Structure formats: C-alpha cells, structure tokens
Amino acid sequence: MKKISYSLILFFLFISGVTAQKKLGKEQLVADADTLHTRMYDIHPNLFAVFPQTEFEEDMAKAKSQFRDSMTVVDFYRIINPLVVKLEDGHTSVSVPAGLIDKNKKIVFPFEVDIDKKKYDVTVKNNYSEKDIPAGAKVLSINGRSTRDILNKFLTYASGENNLFKFERVKWNFHLFPYMIYGDSVFSITYQTGDEKKTVSLNGITLGQYNEITAKNKKEEKKEVKEDFVLTVDNENNTAIIDFRSFSDHDKFVAFLDSTFTLIKKQDIKNLIIDLRENGGGNSRLGDELFQYISPVPFQQFGKMEMKVSPTLKRIFNDTIRTLGISTYEGELEDLRENDKRFSGNCYLLSSNHTFSSAADFTWTFHYFKMGKVVGEETGGLIVCYGDVASSKLPNTGMRFGTSWKKFYGYGADDSYTHGVKPDYEVPADKALDYTIRLIKSQK
C-alpha cells in the first residue's frame, strides 16, 4: 500500500494558454464552476465529509450568481476558491493563478513574512521594497486593514484540514494574496519597531522582480535550493542529520540510504536526526525504505486505505486497469529485511506545521512504532486524511485544481484521529534542531 501526492507547491502556481487579464463571459465562468463541482464530486471518496452538501450547493449557487461578463481568471479565483477551502481537505484545492499574471505588472507585495499563529502577528522576514522597514518589524495594518482581519481573510483562501497548515499556505502566498484577494498593488503599511509606530506607502513589485530577488538572496546566504535529501554529520555530538525535504525519486533515495547508513556504521555514529520540517510529502514508498534502516520491529504506515475509482479519474489517468467503485484495503505489517546497516542508536524526528501528507504519515509511523522521539510542532497533515491527488484543468479559465481520491488511516488509527502527529517535545520548529542537539548532549 503506497501513498503518492504531488508536492503542494505544484498547486500554488500554474501556467496556461489563458492570461489573467483575458476577459471571459459569464456562461464560461458558470460552466467552469459546474465542471469543478462535478469533477470533484465524481473523484473524491467523500467530498462533503466536513462541509454539508446542501450548504456547499447553496454557496455554489451564490458564487455563480456573482459572475458577470468580462471577468478575469483572477476574478473567478476570488469567488470560487473560498468555497473549495470550506471542504477542509489539504489535497483538494484550487491553484493560485500566479502563472497567468504579466510578470512586468507591479502587483506583488514586496515582503516575505513570518506569522505567529497564536497571536495572529505578522512580522517582516525579508524586505524587497525601497522603504527601510527592518526585519522583525511588526506589521499592524495594510491599506487600513488590521493584520488579524487580513489573516482571517487569507485563511479562507488556503486549503487544509486545520489552521496550522492553512497558515503555512498563507505564509507562502503572502506576497500574492493582497492582489489576488483584494486587488491591491499599492500599499500603505503601518508597522511597529519597539514602541515606535510608522506608516509608509509603497508600490508593489513585479513577480519577476520578486522571484529574481529571492533567488539572489538564497545564493548570497548560501541557501541554494537543496537536494530533496542531504546528509550532514555533527562529529562533535556523534550525530548524523538527514535533511529530508521531499519524498521523491525512489531510486535515488535508495542509493542515498545505502551510502548514508554505510557511513553511519563505519563511523559508529550513535545519534540520528531525521529533519522533516520542510517536507510537504510525496511518495510514501520512500518512507518504507527508510524504515527498513531504523525500525526495530515490523511496521506499516497505513492500517487501512479506501480508494474511489470513478470514470473521471480513469480518464485523467488514462486508466484501463482499475475497477470502478470504492475499494478498501487493509494494511499488513511489513517484515524487516536482512540489513547489516540497520541503525540501533538514538533516533529523533523533527516536525513542523509544514510537515504534510506522506511526511506526516511517516511521522505517525515513526511515533506509533516507537522508533524514537518527535521534536518540534504538530504536523500539518492529519493521521487520518484524504490524499493522492488527481490534477485537472478547467476548460475555459485554464485553472488547475487537485482532488483527493483516497482516504488513508495511519496504522492503529480510526476516524477519531482528526489531528496531526503531536511531538514528544513541543518546541517552535525553528528551534527544534538546537533543542534536539541539547537533548543528545544531556544524555552523554
């Protein structure tokens, strides 16, 4: 039994023959809304598990009544996406149509931000404007809207099972959402540093500028986009650290694990940290391969999986094999292979609200079978959740959307497990690695 989900970023941006400025007729927009509704309902095992079907259909009718001739793809997104978000399925989502925007149009909010999910505070992380607003400054309002009101609004455009993960999506898209949701491209920002409050006005920047600046900053900070999995060794603390950012490229990962655990055995390393804080999921088969090196007992990631195969799904996947209908599969424990490189030292897993899909499944299995300790934040992905994404495109707007077609139960879990994996040691994600190193030092 395996779980494969597309990296979430694929659903944030997309490219199409349609442009964001192209005007569409009311009938075209209504037709796309109907197509979205029909396909999602046909594909999903239980589309209305959280949000009642009658309310959804009432809201869909209201949404369609707002369509007018000469609307754009962005207008369609503003109206239709909050309805999809109400379904509360992180794998069932509408793409942010950023790829359709003219890269020379100055509509991007020129900041990266951090968000305090408990206090609803927004602080500047990186400033790409010409105004001198320092990193760490607390943003109080933008264009007269309080940051609390803004965050509450933005959350209605972020698909997810809970606010922990929705906030992650808001943070990733904060530079786009002011335009996508409010239509803002000029910004009056009130911010606070210490006891001093200031208000400045500034223009947006282009998406091309934003992408260029962020890429340049990563190079200057020597933080180029990392490989999906990287090994580093902390010799001082006799610790190996696997920075595991995506469950992708199975064959490459198998080779990586062999070389990694060969080195760990050769150097007699006693501590292993698996860092999933930036991992949004992928192919769960990679998790099974890693468990063969760290699990002391037979394991299974999923106790049960329900799969719905519909005519729409078969067309999307060009499938001629699967049988139509809903099937249920029970997960059986996977025996441990003979492995002279199996790790028997102290194992730790770092998690965050960003840890989603197959990464959250891995975290649950690690915790359930007592392979080590989880340090960090509750995972953004739930222990029991819908997943595996069927991606489709609407005929008129060209907008892409994804729909879950399976339901996964973490091993030993039932429908009451409507939460993420809770860590053994709860600390902010950005402090989890340092905290774990201190744990290791304390055990010497």
Cβ neighbourhood burial of 271 (10 Å; 0-12, 13-18, 19+): buried
The residue-averaged pLDDT of 253-268 equals: 98
Alpha helices in 181-302 (DSSP H): 207-220, 250-266, 285-294
What pLDDT band is residue 10 in, cutting at 50, 70 and 90?
A: very low
Residues 183 and 297 in one domain: no
pLDDT above 60 (res 329): yes
Provide the whole-model pTM. Answer: 0.89
**What sign has the CA pseudo-torsion 121, 127, 131, 133?**
positive
Domain assignment present for 131:
yes
Query: What percent of the chain is modeled with pLDDT above 90?
Result: 87
Residues 234 and 213 in one domain: no
Which residue among 57, 85, 100 closes a domain?
A: 100
Residues 288 and 385 in one domain: yes
pLDDT above 50 (res 7): no
Domain assignment present for 428:
yes
Q: Given phi > 0 = left and psi -120 to 50 = alpha, else beta, which region is 99? A: alpha
What pLDDT band is residue 19 in, cutting at 50, 70 and 90?
A: low
Residues 273 and 384 in one domain: yes
pLDDT above 80 (res 11): no
> How far apart are the C-alpha atoms of 229 and 68, rounded to whole Å?
48
Considering only CA atoms, which of 26, 94, 4 is closest in space to residue 396? 26
Residues 132 and 236 in one domain: no
Phi, psi of 140 (to 5 degrees): -95, -40
Which helix (H) or strand (E) segment is 39 a member of? helix 26-43
Residues 287 and 418 in one domain: yes
Strand partners, 49: none
Cβ density class 274-290: b for 16+ within 10 Å, e for less: bbbbbbbbbbbbbbbbb
Which residue among 41, 72, 100 closes a domain?
A: 100
Across the chain, mean pLDDT equals: 93
Q: What pLDDT, in 10s, does the model give residues 368-394?
A: 999 999 999 999 999 999 999 999 999
Domain assignment present for 1:
no
What pLDDT band is residue 16 in, cutting at 50, 70 and 90?
A: very low
Domain assignment present for 76:
yes
What local confidence, expressed as pLDDT, does residue 8 receive? 44
Instruction: Indicate the Cα dihedral angle 140, 207, 68, 60, nearest 10°.
Output: -70
Cβ neighbourhood burial of 328 (10 Å; 0-12, 13-18, 19+): exposed
Considering only CA atoms, which of 282, 252, 352, 384 is closest in space to residue 9? 282
Q: What pLDDT, in 10s, does the model give residues 92-129?
A: 999 988 776 777 889 999 999 999 999 999 999 999 99
Q: How many domains does the chain have?
A: 3
What local confidence, expressed as pLDDT, does residue 214 receive? 84
The residue-averaged pLDDT of 330-336 equals: 96
> How far apart are the C-alpha atoms of 348 and 271, rounded to whole Å?
8
CATH code of the domain covering residue 352: 3.90.226.10
What local confidence, expressed as pLDDT, does residue 13 receive? 44
Residues 81 and 121 in one domain: no
The residue-averaged pLDDT of 163-185 equals: 95
Residues 247 and 367 in one domain: yes
What local confidence, expressed as pLDDT, does residue 193 receive? 96
CATH code of the domain covering residue 172: 2.30.42.10
Query: What is the number of alpha carbons within 13 Å of residue 181 lying toward its C-beta?
Result: 21
Strand partners, 242: 231, 274
Domain assignment present for 432:
yes
Residues 91 and 120 in one domain: no
Which residue among 221, 252, 274 closes a domain?
A: 221
> How far apart are the C-alpha atoms of 116 and 126, rounded to whole Å?
16
pLDDT above 90 (res 397): yes
What pLDDT band is residue 226 in, cutting at 50, 70 and 90?
A: low
The residue range of the domain holding 139 is: 107-221
From residue 424, alpha-carbon distances to 181, 372, 438 in Å are: 38, 9, 15
What local confidence, expressed as pLDDT, does residue 211 receive? 87
Domain assignment present for 50:
yes
